[in-house]
Amino acid sequence: MQDKVFPVGSVPVPGDDELAELGVAAAAAAIRDGDITSESYAAALLRRARKNSDLNSFITTDESAVLTAARDADKARASGSRAPFLGVPIGVKDSYATRGLRTTLGVGALGSFVPAEDSDVVGSIRDAGGIVFGKVNLVEMSFGLTGHNSRYGQVKNPYGHDRVPGGSSSGSGASVGARLVPAALGGDTVGSIRVPASLCGVVGFKPTTGRWPRGGVAPVSHTLDTTGVLARSVEDCALIDQVVTEDAVAPRSSRSGLQGARFAYAPRQYMELIDPETEKHFDDALLRLRDAGAEVVEIDLGEDFSSLADRLTWNLFFRETMESVTEFLRQNNFPVSFDEIYNGLKPELKEVWSHLVLPGGQGYLSRESYEATLSVERPELQRRLGEVFTHGFDALLFPTTPCPAPLIEHRARFEVAGEEVSELFLAKNTVPASGAGLPGISIPIGLSAHGLPVGLEIDGAYGHDRELLDLARRMESVFDTLPAPA
């Protein structure tokens, strides 16, 4: 299926910028109350997406289908529908199967594939009245952190078009940050929701691993993968979480302040190498939280914490890819084999796969080491992070990424505080929560001197996602709202 562009209409709708600023909850309420129509809202977003096409945040859009769905939503509203997302367009990472809309996984071999069924999460969004706005760009097979895709192009950061947006949910972060959609679905294995959220100035929520359904979403690691969402407010993330998980018994807390909240931070583990501006924003964030009545305590997670988290998480990431992808393709009737995908990868990624993903590769993890990773190392990481919460802390705080968005031209290697690092360094701080399966959320806390967003990650106890979202909502109010990108 080729990308299609359909005319939205020659009569401009006033207030496009105002409409684009609406979040999911606000847009849904405005449509339900009759203040706006879904058609006018969708048309405004489509015009904005076309105007900002240079961001390369979408692989596929079908404007005609979006407008038809919006008109159907307006008819449903007139008939009395009160669906939670009625008439609200949402972006979908192109690793999610979407009925009737091509799904590429970011690879050329699937450039014309149109699934017959929705992934589970997309089905939940549609059942709640939501509209699939389009398929957002991603790194091939979700393998990368800088937004570079050799087939579908480099995604650009809305706050600096010469900067990376993060990855692998690159288009999700860019499209939400640029106000092209109020929210976008993403996937997170080592930080692929939280990294682009941080770099693009939006909120990114990684649920407890296994809490959100993963059916119909291309995997990397069945142990680490989780679906999730990027939006412009914690409230919108919480609303989408409630619909996707069918958690109808989770009313929002009436608490508004942070009096009595207890936060831990571990600079030895999360700030050993950090951009000076990012460090300053983080220190200022801690001061604001203290001023708001919270207790903030420095802790130490152990000298070998970082090496433990890095080793086990990346070992699982690479060791499980071939089995997970092969099974996914078979179960979901994707018309391509693992070998065909491998043979079509860009050279640098193909080299990584040949070394770490394919059995027989020099770095391929042995069965014995893999079992030890699952039975010894991962439980140890979970124990250490679990102690943070058994000791009475509500959350663990740290800078989501150790630096703002690097330049696209330096995406493979760049400097942080005078030291050269690789793109994997962008996930340095997000890796531990992934390895342990904890829920985490990144919220924007400011802009660098170059106007680039800085994110604060808040990790919660395993399975306590609703408490984490409520806490993050209260924390969000402590920080200034980021201006929209120019």
Identify whether the C-beta of residue 221 lies closer than 8 Å to the C-beta of residue 321: yes
Domain membership of residue 237 as a residue range: 16-476
Q: What is the pLDDT of residue 1?
A: 39
Confidence check: pLDDT of 248 > 80? no
Q: What percent of the chain has pLDDT over 90?
A: 94
Please compute the mean of the pLDDT values over residues 244-254 and round it to a whole number. 74
Look at residue 255 in the predicted model and tell me its pLDDT: 72
Q: Are 183 and 20 in contact (CB under 8 A)?
A: no
pTM metric for this prediction: 0.95
Confidence of residue 252 (pLDDT cuts 50, 70, 90): low
What is the rounded average pLDDT of the residues 158-186?
98
Lowest mean pLDDT among 187-191, 212-216, 250-254, 454-458: 250-254
Mean pLDDT across the chain: 95
Rounded to the nearest 5 degrees, what angle is found at the Cα of 42, between the Cα atoms of 116 and 112? 30
- The pLDDT of residue 385 is 98
Indicate which residues carry an active-site annotation: 93, 168, 192
At residue 372 the predicted structure's pLDDT band, cuts being 50, 70 and 90, is very high
138 domain-assigned: yes
* Mean pLDDT, range 453-460, rounded to an integer: 98
For residue 369, count CB atoms less than 10 angstroms from its CB and return exposed for 0-12, middle for 13-18, buried for 19 or more.
middle
Q: Is residue 6 over pLDDT 60? A: no
User: Does the pLDDT at position 482 exceed 60?
Assistant: yes
**CATH code of the domain covering residue 141:** 3.90.1300.10
Query: Is residue 5 over pLDDT 60?
Result: no
- pLDDT, mean of residues 7-23: 70
pLDDT in tens, 433-443: 999 999 999 99
* Structure token digits, residue 232: 């412009």
Nearest to 325 by CA among 417, 217, 411: 217
pLDDT, tens only, 34-75: 999 999 999 999 999 999 999 999 999 999 999 999 999 999
Instruction: Check residue 254 and give its pLDDT.
Output: 67
> Is 8 part of any domain?
no
Going by C-alpha positions, the residue among 129, 60, 97 that lies closest to residue 227 is 97
Total domains present in the chain:
1
Asked whether residue 11 is domain-assigned, the answer is no
Whole-angstrom distance, CA of residue 157 vs CA of residue 38: 28
* Listed residue (151, 162, 133) closest to 45, CA to CA: 133
Per-residue model confidence (pLDDT) at position 15: 85
Flag whether pLDDT at 162 surpasses 70. yes
* Sign of the alpha-carbon torsion through 62, 67, 72, 76: positive
Tens digits of per-residue pLDDT, 88-142? 999 999 999 999 999 999 999 999 999 999 999 999 999 999 999 999 999 999 9
Instruction: Report, as an integer, the average pLDDT of 138-156.
Output: 97
Mean pLDDT of 255-271: 94
388 within a domain of the structure (yes/no): yes
Angle between helices 465-476 and 234-245 (to 10 degrees): 160
Phi/psi at 296 (5° precision): -125, 120
